[in-house]
Amino acid sequence: MFAWLTWDSFTLSDKKMYQTSYRTKDGTYVKRNGGDYEIFGHDLTVIETYWLTRAPIILLLSISGSVLFYRRIYNYRKDLKLGMKEKVSYTIIRKSHFPMTNQYYFSFDNPDYMHYEVDADLFYSMNEGDAVVIYRGKYSNHVFEKDARFTLM
């Protein structure tokens, strides 16, 4: 059934002539200048072909990594290095307490920072309608605590 899959079909004896030479218009074969492959009339070795096929992939990964760094990470890095924070005042709309996890939250009038986790002392000392000052990064606009620690919301 698979008689056509013989060892002779996998050898390069017939195809080797096409790799090391090229056919002219009159039908004769002329030896190449030393390249293994020909792309757009240029002879390329195996190593050159390897880098030619991987160059677009490497270029795409490096450009996307740079864009990701400058859009997302650079602003956080700049805030952490400079240590500059701006004070933003918010009004407490609702206070929430979750007894199962023992967490306390304030809900603000800003849709970007709806819930802010606080400790129990601050939760019981403030009332709804009071103003709270929160420290926010100048460049990333991420909410920091007073000691420049990230808060995950």
List pLDDT tens digits, range 16-36.
444 556 677 887 877 666 666
Query: pTM for this one?
Result: 0.46
Is the pLDDT at 110 greater than 70? The verdict is yes
Average pLDDT value for residue range 123-140: 86
List pLDDT tens digits, range 29-83.
776 666 667 777 777 777 888 888 899 999 999 999 999 999 888 988 888 888 7
| CA 31 – CA 125 distance, rounded (Å) | 89
Residues 6 or more apart in contact with residue 24 via CB below 8 angstroms: 30
Cβ-count burial 63-93 (b if 16+ within 10 Å, e if not): eeeeeeeeeeeebeeebeeeeebeeeebebe
pLDDT value for 144: 66
- Which residues are registered as beta bridge partners of 48? none
Question: Contact 44/35 with Cβ under 8 angstroms?
Answer: yes
Please report, for residues 28, 115, 132, 136, 144, the alpha-carbon distance to residue 92 in angstroms, rounded to integers and kept in the order given.
87, 10, 7, 17, 18
Strand locations in 15-74 (E): 21-23, 29-31, 37-39, 42-44
pLDDT value for 137: 83
Question: Contact 138/86 with Cβ under 8 angstroms?
Answer: yes
